[in-house]
Amino acid sequence: MKKYITTAIPYVNGAPHIGHAFEFVQADFIKRYYKDIAGEDVLLLSGADENALKNVRAAETAGEDVQRFVDKHAIEFHELAKKLNVIFDVFQKGSDKKHHFPASQELWTRCAQNGDIYQTVYEGLYCVGCELFYNKDELDENGECFEHPGKPLEMVKEENYYFRLSRYHQKIIDLISSDTIKVLPEERKHEVMAFLKQPLQDISISRTNERAKNWGVPVPEDDSQRMYVWFDALNIYQSGVGFGWNKTMYEKWWPADIHVIGKGITRFHAVYWPAFLLSAGLKLPKTIFVHGYFTVDGQKMSKTLGNVIDPMEIVKKFGTDALRFFFAREMPSTADGDFSFKRMEQLYNSELANELGNLVSRITTMAAIDGITITITQEMERFPLELSNLYVTYQFQKVVEYIWTAIRDLNKEINKIEPWNFEAKRREKYLTQWLIEIHKIGKYLIPIMPDTAKAIMGATKGRIDKVAPLFPRLSK
Ligand SMILES: [Zn+2]
């Protein structure tokens, strides 16, 4: 079996923040479960949405060449992923002329051949932040969009190509309501269904070269227009796995099994994207898994408040696995969550250093002194069905709960039995049994904390040695 998993494709007009880190790690939990536990053939894709007008403007502000600007920022996202121990099998750039351009032109041509693309003059209020035209009734009392208060909309008039989204209205309703495309959680599915109660308007999928500043994928057979952000950005999910340039690769991986996205872009993934694919006669993604947003110390993250957190800073202070643990432990998979250094430190000390770290350290120390050897059989490494079910339903908080219940039970048992009072010979039976239990815990942790899992599993087999602390004291 194969599993094709994607993160959303971030705009690269600025540095990545903790929300990106969270999404990358969440996708990686899923990837590692399927790859390392279920043994499936897995591909994780991310990329960079580089053709947005936002990028052009940000580059202009920075006084840089657009290509250089997006390259530089794309690398930051890629570097962050590496720091988080998230390996993207494919990182597809939107400015990639070799693969992404022909892939997007192929998608366009297919939709056009199906009669779903037409040209018309449009005049409307446009939010550069969202890259969207808005109707007046969709704006706040200042006539500004809800995502970008303080940013006046622009009146834009131009001749564009339109996609006949309206034609797919009923079809999309059927697909979402029947879970043929599964939108998770249920709450997000309801939002999509509520959105689909109104008539679906056709959408603009191109802009003039002039307004696009000659940046983006050229429209096939019209050199005066470029593709408009969502049409080509969503197609990164396909262009990264061979669409339009490698048939074998494409047929192996497409359709995506899971699109991991943030709640702000559900509509594009659950409505626009399936419509483009239906029009092009292509297969549809199976699951759209939607996570929430981060607050910091209880407040919305914003540049104005100055509380935007650089995830690299957290990694530097606590380590990669500690941050991955925090994401699983503290952040509900599908609702909003909060980050604070205080809470991070608290959890690091209590649950990581004291409960898990101490467990491994005291048992291996005793076993090392006693000269114990452990043989791990395949049977001992079996993954509990209950835990598998939590992983495949993306309930990472419950995964942590399950594992920490095992850790706490073990600690309780050890404290009750007080093996340190025994002679080595009498201790052996207990230590052997506990080392096997700890080894299993290591395995359960693979998707969440891969390095820690590896260290634990390595320390609990063969001739047991003393191990370095898994979660050393934090330096002040
Ligand atoms: Zn906006």
pLDDT score of 476 more than 70:
no
Catalytic residue list contains 300: yes
The rounded Å distance from CA 148 to ligand 1 centre is 4
Structural contact between residues 133 and 108, judged by C-beta atoms closer than 8 angstroms: no
Chain segment 141-175, per-residue pLDDT in tens: 888 988 888 889 999 888 899 999 999 999 999 99
- Residues 6+ positions from 467 with CB-CB distance below 8 Å: 360, 361, 364, 455, 459
Mean pLDDT of all residues in 83-88? 97
The model carries a pTM of: 0.92
Query: Ligand 1 centre from 35 Cα, in Å?
Result: 38
Token pair, residue 116, equals 């779903």
CA 307 to chain CA centroid, nearest Å: 22
pLDDT above 70 for 347 = yes
Residues 6+ apart with CB under 8 A from 389: none
Whole-number Å distance, alpha carbon 153 to ligand 1 midpoint, is 8
Say if residue 367's pLDDT is above 90: yes
The answer on pLDDT for 308 being more than 90 is no
Pairing relationship of beta strands 287-291 and 182-184 according to DSSP bridges = parallel
Closest by Cα among 365, 352, 273 to 319: 352
Does 111 participate in catalysis according to the annotation?
no
- The residue type found at 75 is I
- Beta-sheet pairing, 462-463 with 41-48: unpaired
Does 213 participate in catalysis according to the annotation?
A: no
Residue recorded with tokens 């207990």: 430
> What distance in angstroms lies between residue 307's CA and the mean position of ligand 1's atoms?
21
> Token pair 């034609």 is at which residue?
167
As a whole number, mean pLDDT of residues 407-411 equals: 98
pLDDT at residue 229 greater than cutoff 70: yes
Residue of 31, 93, 100, 127 marked active site: 127
Q: How far is CA 24 from CA 21, 173, 178, 233, 347, in A?
A: 5, 29, 29, 18, 21
User: At what angle are helices 273-280 and 169-177 packed, to 10 degrees?
Assistant: 110
Residue 363 has pLDDT above 90, yes or no: yes
Task: Show the domains of the chain with their CATH numbers.
Answer: 340-463 (1.10.730.10)
CA distance 70 to 81: 17
- Two structure tokens written together for 103: 């892939």
60 vs 54: CA distance, rounded Å? 10
In the reported structure, the alpha carbon of residue 265 is separated from the centroid of ligand 1 by a whole-number distance in angstroms of: 12
**203-204 and 154-163 as β-strands: parallel, antiparallel, unpaired?**
antiparallel
**17 is a catalytic site residue:** yes
- List, for residues 422-458, the tens digit of each pLDDT value: 998 999 999 999 999 999 999 999 999 999 999 999 9
Smallest CA-to-CA distance from 354 within 470, 198, 242 is with 470
* Contact present, 347 and 325 (Cβ < 8 Å): yes
* Residue 192 structure tokens: 């999509």
Count CA atoms closer than 13 A to 264's CA, side-chain side: 14
Instruction: Report the distance separating Cα 217 and Cα 288, nearest Å.
Output: 26
19's CB contacts (< 8 A; 6+ apart) are 262, 293, 294, 301
Residue 180 structure tokens: 């043929």
- pLDDT, residue 151, reads 87
Decide if 127 is catalytic.
yes
